[in-house]
Structure 1
Amino acid sequence: MKEIAHAAANQPWKPFLCQQTFDGEDAAEVVIENRRSAGHSSNGDGRSCGTFGELLQGQLSNGSASCGAHFLVTMPIALFARAYFMPIAGTRCVTVYPPHKVKAQRLAEDLVLALGVSGGNLVLESELPEGKGLASSSADLVATARSIASSFKRRVRTSLIEKLMAKIEPSDGVMYPGVVAYQQRSCRLLSFLGQMPPLAIVGIDEGGILETVAYDRQRGEISTRQRAQYQELLDRARTAIPQGDTASIGKIATASALLHQERVPKEYLNSMLKVSEEVGALGVIVAHSGTVIGILLDRTACDFPRKLQSVVDQIARFNNSPRIYLTMH
């Protein structure tokens, strides 16, 4: 199985080490990177990674600095959305391909208006299936913004992109490199947590599609007791991720999956927990607003190839299409 051989390679795979980023400086909202290029444009491209669900997602206690905010902690994976923008002088409209990517079209037209530049044609390609909890929509939007910024050689403040994305849907925070704690409803950064250590996720899709906006409207509030638990898990993540503490990362993901089970229950959660325990994996991770669930493994462990094969074999007993995902690090 090629995926297993690739995931078990001795050297960690590090695609796109130099991630595209927006400008975080508190200067002008839009800065021309090279004034001599003002008014000139060319075809631009941009990309964004997706996530495998979330390491952690919930709501914080009212006594926290974020005042009871709904939040998530990202789990970036090496699957990407890519956008290609071809400007057409004299228009502010954007035509998107494939045409059902209406969220990306809206973001593109709003950004074109904000920058005062021309519209054009936008082509999107993605390795991320839609409606599964892999941040496909957020990755489309971020890749779109990056392609337009690239086309006009502009440096754009992250806060502008977040403002435009917040008008469209909750975001997964993939505009930032590394792992972040993020307020998905308001599209605001809580904190950088560092880089995820090299992990593999053996994931399955339980089927169906979960639409982000509809889910966010109906999920309701979280109890005071559970908010305290989420606050504790976030505090633990703020220590575990910078330290590369894979055991703690696995426990945090598992705890969040169990806490969320009553809201979006996963049919195979107990089965995946059993496999994780029998193999000695780090734990389980879920898409809290999606359909995928996975088992976490440490790629740097000496027994990783054996554990990986064992997890795949055991999952195949109840799901015939497990897939291996690699974290960005």
Structure 2
Amino acid sequence: MTVGSVGRGHAPGHHGEILQGVFLDAAGRPCPGLVTLPMSGPGTRAEFTRAPGDRVTVEPRERTKAARAATLAVAECARRTGQPPGGGGLRLRSDLPVGLGMGSSTSDVLAAVRAVAASYDVTLPAADLARLAVRAEQACDPLMLDGRPLLFAQREGRVLEDLGAALPPTVVVGCLTSDGAPVDTLTLPRAEHDVRAFEWLRGLLRRAIAESDVALLGRVSTQSARYNQRVLAKPEFGVLEHIAEHTGAAGVQVAHSGNVAGLLFDATAPGLARRLRRCVRALRRNDITVTRIFGTRNGGRAWTTTSPTPSAGRTWCEPATVSSAFASRR
């Protein structure tokens, strides 16, 4: 065992889901699944230093899922390299808010596993990353799969369907619901899902991606968000739908297990900058905190509300207020 070897890993977060429900897998079996909305920028960075013994420590100490993932990754990498399992110290640094439904726990877990693997000079394929993530946290987001639109079985760590190369060109105005209160996903009720309804939405989403149809994408995300009101009701949802209708947005998108949401706009539509400004003003008038504006076809870089093109840096829509709003919920 190489004591003192250091490995580093990184994983992104996401901006909630486009679609989440129960779908049929290849064998015709009902299976919970989701399609996340990728967002670059915020994420988790991990550093793992190998040490003698069999104990893995983590900082911050409350990141117990990441510690469990690191322990599993040590055993996996030791087996692959023929070395005895050991211990080590894991340090995490994340700028993802916890409990908002942006994949913070999966980001922690994946960054931890990648850091451990790097310390062993091992590269783990995506399927193994997903398997370890599910073992560590019972369910995971598809953050190991590079942002492609995938229907992903979060409790099994497998892809149900590859929906295409990329989402349609969309600009998202992100915001907080319920004042950004964190959600304990373990307390959420289990809803009765109509598989036929979600299979219908799956087909619409497949078509939206194939035809690069933002309007159809918005239709799918809005309907999925409506269904989710039975599981995690967002008091502002009706207001968001109203603002979407009156600012020319394609639809509303939500985190199905947290309090982040977004309004979707066609990035190619004329008058985009004007629509974005109207949307931001309407959200603020209704005391809904605007977080960031980003695109699905520009690497997730932020947009400003005064330009129809993405900014060079990751610019928050409302830097002081929004940054502190997220920071206070980490």
TM-score grouping bracket, smaller chain normalisation: 0.7 to 0.9
Q: Does 2:38 match 1:76?
A: yes
Q: 1:134 to 1:240 in 2, by over 3 A?
A: same
> What secondary structure sits across from 2:36 in the alignment?
strand
Determine the structure 1 residue equivalent to 2:181: 208
Q: How does 1:170-189 map to 2 (within 5 A)?
A: 170-177=139-146, 178-189=148-159
**C-alpha RMSD of the superposition:** 2.2
Which residue type is aligned with residue 200 of structure 1?
V
> What secondary structure sits across from 2:123 in the alignment?
strand
Determine the structure 1 residue equivalent to 2:50: 88
Q: Does 2:225 match 1:257?
A: yes
Contact 1:47 1:80 in 2 (8 A): no
CA deviation after TM superposition for structure 1 residue 71, in Å: 0.7
Is the deviation greater in 252-261 or in 149-158?
149-158
Q: How does 1:1-329 map to 2 (within 5 A)?
A: 42-60=5-23, 65-116=27-78, 118-167=86-135, 168-177=137-146, 178-193=148-163, 194-205=165-176, 206=178, 207-215=180-188, 218-222=189-193, 226-329=194-297
Contact 1:85 1:120 in 2 (8 A): no
In 2: Cα distance, 1:113 partner to 1:99 partner: 21
Q: 1:184 to 1:306 in 2, by over 3 A?
A: same
Per-residue CA shift, 1:169-226, capped at 9, x if unaligned? 21111111122111112222112222224433222222322223333xx31432xxx3
In 2: Cα distance, 1:325 partner to 1:124 partner: 26
Q: 1:318 to 1:292 in 2, by over 3 A?
A: same
> What secondary structure sits across from 2:143 in the alignment?
coil
> What secondary structure sits across from 1:133 in the alignment?
coil
Contact 1:56 1:73 in 2 (8 A): yes
> What secondary structure sits across from 2:114 in the alignment?
helix
In 2: Cα distance, 1:231 partner to 1:180 partner: 14
> What secondary structure sits across from 1:195 in the alignment?
coil
Which residue type is aligned with residue 30 of structure 2?
G
Gaps of 5+ in 2: 79-84, 298-330
Contact 1:138 1:172 in 2 (8 A): yes
Contact 2:249 2:263 in 1 (8 A): yes
**Same amino acid, percent of matched pairs:** 31
Which residue type is aligned with residue 189 of structure 1?
V
Which residue type is aligned with residue 157 of structure 2?
C
In 1: Cα distance, 2:119 partner to 2:274 partner: 46
Contact 1:107 1:164 in 2 (8 A): yes
Per-residue CA shift, 1:218-271, capped at 9, x if unaligned? 31432xxx3211101112212322442212111110111112222211111110
CA deviation after TM superposition for structure 1 residue 89, in Å: 3.5
Gaps of 5+ in 1: 1-37
Contact 1:87 1:121 in 2 (8 A): yes
Contact 2:171 2:296 in 1 (8 A): no
Determine the structure 2 residue equivalent to 1:5: none
In 2: Cα distance, 1:328 partner to 1:151 partner: 33
Contact 1:87 1:120 in 2 (8 A): yes
In 1: Cα distance, 2:99 partner to 2:227 partner: 21
CA deviation after TM superposition for structure 1 residue 101, in Å: 0.6
In 2: Cα distance, 1:324 partner to 1:144 partner: 27
With the length of structure 1 as denominator, give the TM-score of the two structures.
0.80
With CA pairs under 8 Å and 6+ residues apart, which has the higher RCO, 1 or 2? 1
Contact 2:172 2:265 in 1 (8 A): yes
In 1: Cα distance, 2:288 partner to 2:219 partner: 26
Q: How many residues align?
A: 286
CA deviation after TM superposition for structure 1 residue 109, in Å: 0.8
With the length of structure 2 as denominator, give the TM-score of the two structures.
0.80
